[in-house]
Homo-oligomer: A and B are copies of this chain.
């Protein structure tokens, strides 16, 4: 028996607050248990009624006979703690508290919530809620909610931090052909939280895909561990509420959880293999396809259609989602040529024309699925009048079942195709009413496939460093030396207080060099000729020294000497850094550096620690990263060195928790094989601003 099984397959249920009044929630719960065929014992508790919906009533929790392992509580909030205590004493170790009136209502409610929490701990009782809708398991079956309607049996597990979303989804799913295995509404999470339910969904054999509506999480670390383990076993799609600024504010007033930045949520989901959907519809579109169809091995898609327009819209959407149109083999094309109408198209998109029916579709679909250049097939049927859409549904389901490649259909329209949709559901072929939606679905499947085969091993810590020294350097804000401790290199530079020393330094580091005025008084050196670039030899060093001296004199500035720096040519500038999220801890950021960081927003983040694969993924998720592969007249840059810097920062972030922020901007990346140098670094310790 799994933990929390009593929430989804209880042996007996006591309903505290059961009612005969059909307008009360306490009636709806009893009705749902009965109406949706719960087979265990149903024990309504009501002091004044003898029967509810034909079931005998009990006057108290203590009076309820065995078996009973779950209590559903729908009584006024102030009474709830006492009831829970009595449940615990009676030996009922699981309770769903539907009643509202707790933390969501203010001060007094928060106090009640604390009391409830304490009693739960004392009694060793697991509580879902309060202020929730309850749980559903379509396989048991059991429906502990008061919401009218029971979703179809299916493969999707869903947990939600909004009860309203659960109610809406139940209502919507019935019409949209989406089935569920388990649903859990979490309410105020006084005890059981989203992470624990995700673990329960992972353990449920009927759940093939996990979905979640998440506003906040209880504990970033625990979530990431559990989500990662779950995502290794099952596709896991989540919708995050409160991603924008206003939305986050609304969430903050709605839940008590640590906020966590949206970027950190995205990064943590990505790392754990949780796929973030943009809308509810997208979440269930993805979930259905992930539950029903095999994952594609690549991104080459064939489109099979009976009409040009819808296929063009599908192709546009595929391209927008980085999918490719498969270039069919000549064999496939000549085969199709021999089977399709003369005016049909055997190039992808393959158009069988309006005059072709299920037979031609079957033949063409089979050929496309057999073609090794095809990773997935989209089947589009624009409405026609001469065959039943259901027969196409049958044929597609049958042919698709023979191959191991995903098939998604768009049997268009709605009014005339309901039978076809039922058949597709039975055959586990996902269908969308307009073809554009297939693209995001296929993209999600490909991303899952890529994540599954990518390397998630924990990185090996390998930068040589002295922990005491590192902590000291950090506490001194000596970021440059700290980074050098972690094998990050800076450009060679030497301070010289005489022209001879400058020339010696330049000769040692090699030309060209730059000379910069060192002066207490002057900050904008370049405005007053205090910087001399492109110095090629000793003579030029001397000329530059005197030019700088003259400028300093003219400006009335002191001259402590010059900084001799190696002049850097043909590098690319990127930003690499560490940031900490209050929920998910240290993150590595990478992207386009310079002052335009925020304008172009070309910065991505990854939760630390990262391994080499993850460092590369982080780099490649940005435009700055793609530029490192060579761009226009820029040669390919030393991406390997950037990976090394990222791994160093990742290690530093783990080893020095006192470092709150660190930013190398720019990191100057030379052509392949020539390394990278940090030109500037700034950092901040925890508690600093």
Interface residues of A (CB under 8 A from B): 23, 25, 28, 100-101, 104-106, 109, 146-149, 160-165, 167-168, 170-172, 174-176, 213, 215, 239, 241-247, 250-251, 253-254, 278-281, 306-313, 315-320, 324-325, 342-343, 345, 347, 349, 354, 382-386, 412-417, 433-434, 436-437, 526, 529, 533-534, 536, 540, 543, 547, 551, 595-596, 598-600, 602, 623, 626-627, 631-634
- What residues of B have a CB within 8 angstroms of the CB of A547 in the complex? 543
- What residues of B have a CB within 8 angstroms of the CB of A596 in the complex? 627, 631
A163 engages B631 (CB within 8 Å):
no
B318 engages A176 (CB within 8 Å):
no
The 9 A-B pairs with the shortest beta carbon distances in the complex, nearest first, are: A162-B309, A171-B413, A164-B307, A164-B382, A244-B319, A175-B414, A168-B412, A105-B343, A247-B316
A246 engages B385 (CB within 8 Å):
no
- What residues of B have a CB within 8 angstroms of the CB of A100 in the complex? 343, 354
- What residues of B have a CB within 8 angstroms of the CB of A631 in the complex? 595-596, 599
Given contacts A246-B325, A417-B171, contact A307 B162 (CB under 8 A): yes
A244 engages B172 (CB within 8 Å):
no
- What residues of B have a CB within 8 angstroms of the CB of A433 in the complex? 172
B308 engages A162 (CB within 8 Å):
yes
Given contacts A315-B247, A319-B245, contact A310 B174 (CB under 8 A): no
- What residues of B have a CB within 8 angstroms of the CB of A104 in the complex? 343
A254 engages B312 (CB within 8 Å):
yes
B316 engages A633 (CB within 8 Å):
no
Q: Pick the contact of A383 from B167, B324, B534, B633 — CB < 8 Å?
A: B167
Q: Pick the contact of A175 from B253, B281, B384, B415 — CB < 8 Å?
A: B415
Q: 29 interchain pairs (CB within 8 A)?
A: A104-B343, A105-B342, A147-B385, A163-B309, A164-B309, A164-B382, A164-B412, A165-B310, A167-B412, A168-B413, A170-B383, A170-B413, A171-B383, A171-B414, A172-B413, A172-B434, A174-B415, A175-B414, A176-B414, A241-B309, A244-B316, A250-B308, A254-B308, A254-B312, A279-B317, A279-B437, A526-B534, A529-B534, A600-B600
Q: How far is the CA of A533 from the CA of B165 in the complex (A)?
A: 64
Q: How far is the CA of A374 from the CA of B42 in the complex (A)?
A: 50
Shortest distance from the beta carbon of A306 to any chain B beta carbon, whole Å: 7
Q: How far is the CA of A547 from the CA of B415 in the complex (A)?
A: 82
B241 engages A316 (CB within 8 Å):
yes
Q: Pick the contact of A164 from B101, B165, B308, B320 — CB < 8 Å?
A: B308
- What residues of B have a CB within 8 angstroms of the CB of A602 in the complex? 600
Q: How far is the CA of A246 from the CA of B595 in the complex (A)?
A: 37
Q: How far is the CA of A472 from the CA of B682 in the complex (A)?
A: 56
B309 engages A160 (CB within 8 Å):
yes
Shortest distance from the beta carbon of A516 to any chain B beta carbon, whole Å: 13
- What residues of B have a CB within 8 angstroms of the CB of A343 in the complex? 100-101, 104-106, 109
